[in-house]
């Protein structure tokens, strides 16, 4: 695996193409994992809370259906971005949290947030 490159080197190499060892765009797998209306909003909840229960997520995202929330959580778990922990006690419950791979996305979300604030007026006026 290639070592990480600096932002300056990234900019200089970008025009010639930056590919993974398998010859793929390194951004595509993440974009595929985050596809859909709800996944980034769900992950945002994990940025604010260390552990979240299904009901708390549902309350934070009132427009999402139970089925869509369940599906999105399963896909995020399958992709390795979140961890599902089941507690077999009375009453049983499940807690979700970011995995280490999911936590690695925090600086990415920060950069997206900065971009969003910078271009907020442009986005809202479209």
Confidence band of 104 (pLDDT split at 50, 70, 90): very high
The answer on pLDDT for 1 being more than 50 is no
* The pair of three-digit structure tokens given for residue 53, joined into one six-digit string: 């229960």
Phi and psi at residue 81, in whole multiples of 5°?
-85, -25
Average of per-residue pLDDT across 81-103: 94
Q: How far apart are CA 40 and CA 54, in angstroms?
A: 16
Residue found by looking up tokens 């996305």 in the block: 105
Select the more confidently predicted residue: 1 or 16.
16
**pLDDT for the residue numbered 62:** 94
pLDDT digits (tens, 9 = 90+) for 30-62: 889 999 999 999 999 998 899 999 999 999 999
Residues in a beta bridge with 53: 95
3-state secondary structure of 98: strand
* The pair of three-digit structure tokens given for residue 8, joined into one six-digit string: 């300056």
Residue found by looking up tokens 């936590």 in the block: 103
∠ CA(44), CA(86), CA(50), 5° rounding? Answer: 30
Average of per-residue pLDDT across 102-117: 91
| Domains of the chain, earliest start first | 1-33 (no CATH), 37-124 (1.10.10.10)
Select the more confidently predicted residue: 122 or 65.
65
């Amino acid at each position: 695996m290639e070592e990480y490159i600096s932002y300056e080197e990234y900019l200089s190499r970008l025009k010639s193409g930056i590919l993974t060892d398998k010859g793929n765009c390194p951004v595509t797998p993440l974009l595929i994992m985050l596809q859909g209306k709800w996944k980034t909003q769900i992950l945002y909840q994990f940025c604010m809370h260390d552990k979240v229960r299904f009901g708390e997520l549902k309350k934070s995202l009132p427009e999402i259906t139970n089925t869509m929330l369940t599906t999105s959580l399963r896909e995020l778990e399958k992709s390795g971005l979140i961890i599902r922990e089941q507690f077999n006690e009375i009453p049983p419950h499940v807690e979700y949290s970011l995995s280490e791979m999911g936590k690695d996305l925090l600086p990415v979300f920060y950069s997206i947030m900065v971009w969003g604030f910078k271009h907020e007026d442009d986005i809202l006026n479209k």
